Amino acid sequence: MAASNGKFFLLTIFFSMFSVLLAHPSNKNQFEKRQGYNFPDFMGGAGKGLGGMMGGALQKNGGRGDGCKKYKIISARGTGENQLYPTTYAKFISEVLASVPDGGNYEVFVYPATVDYVAGPGEGAADAMRYISGQKSSCPKQVYVLIGYSEGAMVVTQLLKEPELPASSIVAIVLYGNPYFKGGAPQNACSALIFCFFFSGKTGAGVASETGISMPSKYSSITFDCCATGDMVCQTIGSMVPHVTYSGSENEKAAVRFTVSKLHGGQRQSSSRRKKKKNTIKLQ
């Protein structure tokens, strides 16, 4: 019985998140542009895509060889997004970089962003951990903002569980459409409402929440876990339509404000920690 339940759960994740690909039209001929709102097709072998083959070398605002910054935004894309130009959080990154000087961006690239939701997120988390470890040795004062969309939110969550991650250097975490989302968590943001016949409330659970994987609680005060009402990836019930509406939305504007505040030393207060200040770093 347990094995059958496990198989059913994996199938639920697969079909829910595979729908992301169906919700976006293909865009074969616009790899040179980082605009619009289309997901490119998969490219290349072994599920790695064009971005996986070329790595982070073409990142405009970051990569492995761009030197030290005051902060880096480490981003993990959703299923089917191209590694070079993921569109869902492109505006978030550009707005934060424009608002807080001397920042950079590194897109997690040893990560296929396919429908392999068992191994894929772990591969992405390992790549991000390698990048941060390398940066810490050469840029010890540099701090980090983490953002992940959909499957990329799984990457970020698994990264936060890495024991070697320098927690004091992580200043803000933003998740869009998180499959690990759980109702009632202090980091929850955006609407995340489930409407029933008898009640409505800020609750729900993501399609991968039953895996038991969740971020350590020490990061909750610096996390903006954004789930839109009716997003079936972070609410289980609903549809895929809300899941593809984060880019350019009011939710994203709130995420930018949250992140800029953290980079300037602000504190998002949860109901249980209103008088505590932690994990905030003032950028000079």
pLDDT tier, 47 (very low <50, low <70, confident <90, very high otherwise): very low
Domain range enclosing 141: 2-167+209-215+247-263
Of the two residues 113 and 201, the one the predictor is more confident about is 113
Instruction: Enter the tokens of residue 277.
Output: 């200040």
pLDDT at 41 over 80: no
Quick: pLDDT tens for 139-186.
999 999 999 999 999 999 999 999 999 999 999 999 999 999 998 899
Cα 51 to Cα 58: distance, rounded to the nearest angstrom: 9
pLDDT of residue 266: 61
pLDDT tier, 193 (very low <50, low <70, confident <90, very high otherwise): low
- For residue 41, is it within any domain? yes
What share of the chain in percent tops pLDDT 70?
A: 66
What's the CATH code of the domain at 68?
Answer: 3.40.50
Across 188-215, average pLDDT: 73
Q: What is the mean pLDDT of the chain?
A: 76
Across 231-235, average pLDDT: 91
How far, in whole angstroms, is CA 82 from its chain's centroid? 15
Cα 162 to Cα 276: distance, rounded to the nearest angstrom: 24
pLDDT of residue 176: 97
Radius of gyration of the chain (CA): 18
Cα 280 to Cα 145: distance, rounded to the nearest angstrom: 12
pLDDT of residue 114: 86
pLDDT at 63 over 80: no
Q: How many domains does the chain have?
A: 1
Cα 154 to Cα 20: distance, rounded to the nearest angstrom: 15
Of the two residues 6 and 228, the one the predictor is more confident about is 228
pLDDT of residue 147: 98
- For residue 87, is it within any domain? yes
DSSP string, the chain: -HHHHHHHHHHHHHHHHHHHHHHS---TT-TT---SS-PPPP-SSTT-HHHHHHTTTT-SS--TTS---SEEEEEEPPTT--SS---TTHHHHHHHHHHSSSEEEEE--S---SS-TTTHHHHHHHHHHHHHHHHHHH-TT-EEEEEEETHHHHHHHHHHT-TTS-GGGEEEEEEES-TT-BTT-TTEES--EEE-SS-EEE--B-TTGGG-----GGGGGGEEEE--TTBHHHHSSSBSTGGG--TTSHHHHHHHHHHHHHHTT--PPPTT-TT---S-----
- For residue 89, is it within any domain? yes
Across 114-142, average pLDDT: 94
- For residue 282, is it within any domain? no
- For residue 57, is it within any domain? yes
Of the two residues 28 and 19, the one the predictor is more confident about is 19
Given CA atoms 75, 80, 82, 88 in this order, what sign does their dihedral have?
A: negative
- For residue 90, is it within any domain? yes
pLDDT at 31 over 70: no
- For residue 274, is it within any domain? no
* pTM of the complete model beyond 0.85: no
pLDDT at 4 over 70: no
pLDDT at 271 over 70: no
- For residue 233, is it within any domain? no
